[in-house]
Amino acid sequence: MPLATARWCARQGWPVHPLAPGRKTPAANCEACRRPGHSHAGCACPSEGRWCHSFHAATLDQRRIDRWWGNNPQFGTGVACGPAALVVIDIDAHATKPPSRDRILPGIPISDQVNLAGLTNGFHTIALLAALRDMPSPADDNTTLRVRTPSGGLHVWYRVGDSRSWQCSSGSSPGRALAWQVDVRANGGYIVAPGTTTTTGTYTPLGPVRRPAVLPDWLAQELERTGHLPALDVPAPRAVPPRAQQAVIAAGGGRHHTHNLLASVLAPVEACGQVAEGAGFSDILNRAAYTLGGLVAASRLSQQEAEDLLLQTAAAARPGQEHRAQQIIRSGMAAGLKRPLYPGSVR
């Protein structure tokens, strides 16, 4: 029953929106929202209780859900992946001739000596990627929610285990792509809910598992490698803040003071670990990196020591964001290395 499906998804914390009757596409917008040039940005329809603009209107409001699907029992159910913190690996099963070898597994060269006979769909390419990493294929992952599609494909549902904002992709794209015939549904997209029926069939869960497992580390690494994270917004280098300057001055001369100095500089980064998100983490880490870069330039510690300390502290405060932290650290330290910080003087 569509209403029961929508209610169940909402109880999982997955915002839902209606799909057109018998189809896997969103329900139509109102007449005003269908006009050329109209955008969801600033549109009042979602806030006024209308389902215009697909996943942008997705909701957890049970009263709204009851009204939408109660009045339109023929609707299917879509789940907005980004707000639901979901990454769904959408494996297609269209038996077709594969593209050129460089597009089968983007970024991984496949030699002409490798026999690709029999490789015809996404089940094969995701299995090949997993085998190269010595991991089981997501298609065989019985620890997470898997949904068979009417066309014979498979949706493998995972939940995001950290704060990274994974992006969607199409497996046939010449740009961002995980593997040929393997799409990724994440921020900026939606997925058809299990139990939804279209004119071609029902999206049917496999096995007893009905909850997504955490996205495996190896798969997260592959998504990062293939460009599924938004462009990093690394903060511009800033001058050493007064508190950091004072810490350097207070440390005075002598190597034995360095431990206390480092603890003072790294303390704001550590404090970010007490807050689930936000807290200006990027800027705080950038400032710490800038300060330690200045200390490296003043020969108070080695660059490797500084980088290791910063990365360890950042990883403890924001697990799973090591790649982003490395880029922020490199940027901040590069700027700090140009301005040595000497105890007893303010530069």
Q: Write the pLDDT tens digit of every residue in 293-324.
A: 888 888 888 888 888 889 888 888 777 777 77
Question: What type of residue sits at position 149?
Answer: T
pLDDT for the residue numbered 122: 96
pLDDT band at 215 (very low <50, low <70, confident <90, very high): very high
Residue 10 has pLDDT above 60, yes or no: yes
Q: What is the pLDDT of residues 94-148, one digit of tens each?
A: 878 888 898 899 989 888 888 888 899 999 999 999 999 999 999 999 999 999 9
Here the tokens at position 105 are 């597994």
Residue 235 has pLDDT above 90, yes or no: no
Q: What is the mean pLDDT of residues 277-283?
A: 67
pLDDT for the residue numbered 6: 97
pLDDT band at 279 (very low <50, low <70, confident <90, very high): low
DSSP per-residue letters across 221-265: HHHHHTT-SPPP-PPPP-PPPHHHHHHHHHH-SSGGGHHHHHHHH
pLDDT for the residue numbered 242: 47
Which domains are assigned to the chain? 1-79 (no CATH), 81-230 (3.30.2250), 242-338 (no CATH)
Q: What is the mean pLDDT of residues 227-244?
A: 58
When mean pLDDT is compared over 89-93, 111-115, 259-263, the highest value belongs to 89-93
Residue 280 has pLDDT above 60, yes or no: yes
pLDDT for the residue numbered 151: 94
Other CB atoms within 10 A of residue 31 CB: 7
* Higher per-residue confidence, 188 vs 346: 188
Q: What is the pLDDT of residues 154-187, one digit of tens each?
A: 999 999 988 889 999 988 877 789 999 999 999 9
pLDDT band at 336 (very low <50, low <70, confident <90, very high): confident
Virtual torsion, Cα 56, 159, 211, 205, nearest 10 deg: 70
